[in-house]
Structure 1
Amino acid sequence: MDYVRNHIWQILILLNYIIALSAVVTILLKKVNPTKALSYIIGLLALPFIGLIVYYLFGQEYRKTKIFSRKNVLNQSVVKKIQEKLELDHKTIDKVDDLLDQKSKLIPLLYNNEKSKLTINNDVKLIKNGDEKFKLLFKDIKEAKHHIHLEYFVIKDDKIGSELLNLLCEKSIDGLEIRISIDDVGSSISSKMKRQIKEAGIEMNSFMPVLFGKFTGQMNYRDHRKIVVIDGKIGYVGGINISDNYVNANNTRYWRDTHIRVVGETVKQLQILFFTTWDFVSKGQTEISNAYFPEHNCVENVPLQLAASGPDTDWSNIMEAIFVAITNAEDHIYITTPYFIPNGEIVTALQVASRSNITVKIIIPKKSDSWIAEYATNSYLQLLLEAGVEVYQYTKGFIHAKTMVVDGVFSTIGTTNMDYRSFNINFEVNALVYNKKISSELTQFFNDDLKDCCQLHLESWQNRAKRTKLIEALARLMAPLL
């Protein structure tokens, strides 16, 4: 015992490196992204104890261990029948192919990856900013008759959040089924409000609860989705969470965001997606009935496909869809993202597109809500500017929209940032819209946002301070961990 006490630090260091080396072997055998693997290996070997903690919190690859399973939901007869009904005949698919030309490659990609079906009968409304979203959402909730399902990364019981939660309590007391899935790290609801929610009969569960949530803002793996399904007929998806930050009437900093409201066949897919998460967070055998999939009377014909990805999918579905859309562009690509920390595939695709005389424009915030993400983002911009990509920094406030328009016929709106975390770690969902009208409206959103941007130029960007470049380089090294 005296020997142990006298050599405690040497023993602890030895144990640290035994565990660290076993972790290194595990990382190598997993064949993960080389940059990400190298980041973890350097951390494990160069930072005793700290490296192990970081790897334990952020380095576990749950996609491979399959702790997230969707089989209980997808194997249910009701869900199988719904998915079969969503199958399109070849004549309809050919019509879409003619409209989209090369963009139609996305349709079989997502189907082959995750059996994500293209649906035709949809009415899609683009929503600009939280003020407009909450006005529409509250109206739909007030008119709901059977059930309301919410799945959000952020729900706070601040002014707008309390208004929403109080309304849901009223609807639950009136007899509606209310289910709420919140991310345990992103959301913040007081004990008092939780008691009120429970007493009203609302079922609410947290996604992957963690200890000390305020100190684990980047804890893997998070449910970053923002989904609402009302009566199985109306769906919402996009970038806007439930918080006063998203309401410009209540917020000191202007918050620019984009969401969509959908009526039609795609709502059934959103419903299935919600139930896959609910089955996990409720830790029970969720029984699904036809009541959650009513027939719709939508007569609009907006082709739409849902792309969902996360540790429960075998492939990085959304990243792959974005990659295919970029590589098949023929005229222009307009991207808006709050965080631009891409993998090598996306960087190369954008560089090649721009050098092939395709107009590539990207809007990012000038001032991010995360200093390290801002520096990491800036570390990638010179590569784009050298290839002729037009980069614009949004100056009016914080731009949180996650959208892309390609050639005026394809657009995507969703929860996915252009970063490692969204592509590989978090649960995300995007709506892929194959429609000229929606693409035109989203292009107008983009052009309006350009009026509140300053364009970066290669020469002046190269001349920024060496200290700034060094911080960016260090932040970029941490990019796989952000």
Structure 2
Amino acid sequence: MALTWEIVRWILLTIVIINELAAIFTVFREKRDIAATWAWLLVLTLIPVIGFIIYAFLGRKPTHGQLNRIKSQTRLKLKEAVERQKKQFKNMPKPKHYIMQVYRRTVMLFQSIDESFLSRHNHVDVFTDGNVLFSRMFDEIADAKKSIHIEFYTIYNDKIGNHLRTLLEQKAAEGVEVRVLYDSWGSMGVKPSFYANLRELGGYATPFLMARSNIFDFRINYRDHRKIVVIDGQTAYIGGFNIGDQYLGRSPKFGPWRDTHLRVVGGGVYGMERQFIGDWNASVQKKTSVIKHYHPYFPPIKVRNGNTALQTVSSGPEGELEKIKMGYLRLINVATDHIWIQTPYLIPDDSILDALQVAAHAGIDVRIMIPCKPDHPFVYRATQYYARALANQGVTIYTYQKGFLHAKTMMVDGRIASVGSANLDFRSFKLNFEINAFMYDSQLTDQLEQIYVNDIRNCRVMTPERFADQSHWLKFKQRFSRLLSPIL
């Protein structure tokens, strides 16, 4: 018996040693920030063997070939316009008014880090109800004459997903160019055959970065989280909604769905079209499916009553800079009166956390609205942890009670706003492919803030005292989830 236990002990010791060596090799063979490195070492060492299964889902990065396909995509003809704008802004006399200085420097930031073209005189509509949004969007798709470009993290095989597919098949049969780019993980359960009839009718559909099956591509992170629709190069949609019945409030689990999406008419459409074409060309397998001639997709756009200046900013793991996070930091740091944020996932890194705390202690009215219910348990517990930490530093925390809050918005001083796909979390900053619209328009920002005020009526204020009254078990789950926050 003693010999048997000695053999078992040596086997277990060998497994532990191999596991530790494999953990070190796995974590350090790819470039990561310090927080993510320690988080993965914690998972791989404390949960032998099973930790590597978790890593297969959450830790593996896209291949160098996939990332190079994204990096190698040309920024199209807008790069020349951006260079001209850079020179114009650089040579302008320094504005005397502080607000104009903030405006100018923020524009230059995005020009520098993302070659983001500033488009003036856009007309922007705001949607918070999925039924209204998709009714308008589908009507415009039905009226399309030349091209329909669609990119979503999620397109489900459900009622609205089938409605969209049928509509796209009709347009393809009419000779309209239809291209659909979807994420294979976000569109879980949707097989390539879902688009077979669309392809037969002359349309195109492909998963992002050629991930054709979840059997071979089971990464939860490093996904295409963007939501882009461009119709005839004239009208575009961007925001937080995906294509699925739950986004129309048809899911008993989530109830009413509260999100924010934009319809844009104007030069801002070009930034979204440019991003779609780059993502599309990086993802298709057949050379015949590549978009080679760009000019037809950037027609002249005439806008009446357009007052919104905007820049579209994209970020993803293919680049060194966390561009949208830098944009969020910029908006937080230049605030002089208030910062109002909505995000379903509040898992900020140290830079965002410090900036929010500095703003709150400096007397800025910092408000953050999060959901009252989880859709991902660990993510929500980490969200609660950071919400509690910020509440203790003077930030007002609201939990939205009327269904699920999925909006990703930031409004600053009633003058600048951001709406898009990026949450205030590690995943959106570092791990996924995202796109946001940053807008310089006091009227539009005021409209978004009025929506925020209306949402407060359906919220509960989470004071430090209410957080303190939470159970010890709940607080433990929050603290444990926080340790994993760099990889959630």
| TM-score using structure 1 length | 0.90
Is it true that 1:410 corresponds to 2:416 in the alignment? Answer: yes
**What is the rounded CA distance, in whole Å, between the counterparts of 2:399 and 2:271 in structure 1?**
35
| 1:127 counterpart letter in structure 2 | F
Structure 2 contact 411–417 (Cα < 8 Å) conserved: yes
**What is the rounded CA distance, in whole Å, between the counterparts of 2:75 and 2:459 in structure 1?**
48
Is it true that 1:26 corresponds to 2:29 in the alignment? Answer: yes
| 1:293 counterpart letter in structure 2 | F
Q: Within 5 Å, which residues of 2 pair with 1:228-377? A: 228-248=229-249, 250-252=250-252, 253-283=255-285, 284=287, 285-299=290-304, 300-377=306-383
Check 1:183–1:215 CA distance in 2 against 1; reply closer, same or farther (3 A cut): closer
The C-alpha deviation readout for 1:126-155, integer Å capped at 9, x for no partner, is 111211110110111111110000000000
Q: Within 5 Å, which residues of 2 pair with 1:137-156? A: 137-156=137-156
For the residue of structure 2 that corresponds to 1:287, the secondary structure is: coil
What are structure 2's unaligned runs of at least 5 residues? 1-6
The C-alpha deviation readout for 1:348-391, integer Å capped at 9, x for no partner, is 11111011111011110111222222111111122211111110
- Deviation for aligned residue 1:115: 1.1
Check 1:337–1:224 CA distance in 2 against 1; reply closer, same or farther (3 A cut): same
The C-alpha deviation readout for 1:103-142, integer Å capped at 9, x for no partner, is 4432111111121121113111111121111011011111
Instruction: Indicate the larger mover: 159-168 or 193-202.
Output: 193-202
Check 1:87–1:349 CA distance in 2 against 1; reply closer, same or farther (3 A cut): closer
Partner of 2:105: 105
Structure 1 contact 396–452 (Cα < 8 Å) conserved: yes
| 2:416 counterpart letter in structure 1 | F
Check 1:368–1:47 CA distance in 2 against 1; reply closer, same or farther (3 A cut): closer
Structure 1 contact 181–278 (Cα < 8 Å) conserved: yes
Structure 1 contact 97–104 (Cα < 8 Å) conserved: no
For the residue of structure 1 that corresponds to 2:398, the secondary structure is: strand
Check 1:302–1:475 CA distance in 2 against 1; reply closer, same or farther (3 A cut): same
Partner of 2:391: 385
Partner of 1:432: 438
For the residue of structure 2 that corresponds to 1:405, the secondary structure is: strand
**What is the rounded CA distance, in whole Å, between the counterparts of 1:65 and 1:201 in structure 2?**
29
Check 1:152–1:382 CA distance in 2 against 1; reply closer, same or farther (3 A cut): same
**What is the rounded CA distance, in whole Å, between the counterparts of 2:299 and 2:95 in structure 1?**
27
Identity across matched positions, percent? 33
**What is the rounded CA distance, in whole Å, between the counterparts of 1:257 and 1:152 in structure 2?**
15
Q: CA RMSD in A?
A: 2.8
**What is the rounded CA distance, in whole Å, between the counterparts of 1:62 and 1:192 in structure 2?**
24
The C-alpha deviation readout for 1:194-241, integer Å capped at 9, x for no partner, is 22222222110012426546995x622100000001111101000010
The C-alpha deviation readout for 1:236-274, integer Å capped at 9, x for no partner, is 0000101111113x4441000100000111111111100
**What is the rounded CA distance, in whole Å, between the counterparts of 2:440 and 2:419 in structure 1?**
12
Structure 2 contact 152–183 (Cα < 8 Å) conserved: yes
Is it true that 1:457 corresponds to 2:463 in the alignment? Answer: yes
- Deviation for aligned residue 1:67: 2.2
For the residue of structure 2 that corresponds to 1:171, the secondary structure is: helix
Check 1:305–1:98 CA distance in 2 against 1; reply closer, same or farther (3 A cut): farther
For the residue of structure 1 that corresponds to 2:119, the secondary structure is: coil
**What is the rounded CA distance, in whole Å, between the counterparts of 2:216 and 2:342 in structure 1?**
28
**What is the rounded CA distance, in whole Å, between the counterparts of 2:280 and 2:213 in structure 1?**
21
Instruction: Indicate the larger mover: 85-94 or 398-407.
Output: 85-94
**What is the rounded CA distance, in whole Å, between the counterparts of 1:371 and 1:242 in structure 2?**
23
Structure 1 contact 69–312 (Cα < 8 Å) conserved: no
The C-alpha deviation readout for 1:30-74, integer Å capped at 9, x for no partner, is 3x3322211111222232222333334433455988724345541
Structure 2 contact 165–195 (Cα < 8 Å) conserved: no
| 1:255 counterpart letter in structure 2 | W
**What is the rounded CA distance, in whole Å, between the counterparts of 1:96 and 1:418 in structure 2?**
33
**What is the rounded CA distance, in whole Å, between the counterparts of 1:266 and 1:353 in structure 2?**
30
Is it true that 1:135 corresponds to 2:135 in the alignment? Answer: yes
Structure 2 contact 122–310 (Cα < 8 Å) conserved: yes
**What is the rounded CA distance, in whole Å, between the counterparts of 2:367 and 2:161 in structure 1?**
34
**What is the rounded CA distance, in whole Å, between the counterparts of 2:362 and 2:398 in structure 1?**
20
What are structure 1's unaligned runs of at least 5 residues? none
**What is the rounded CA distance, in whole Å, between the counterparts of 1:370 and 1:450 in structure 2?**
23
Partner of 1:37: 37
| 1:159 counterpart letter in structure 2 | K
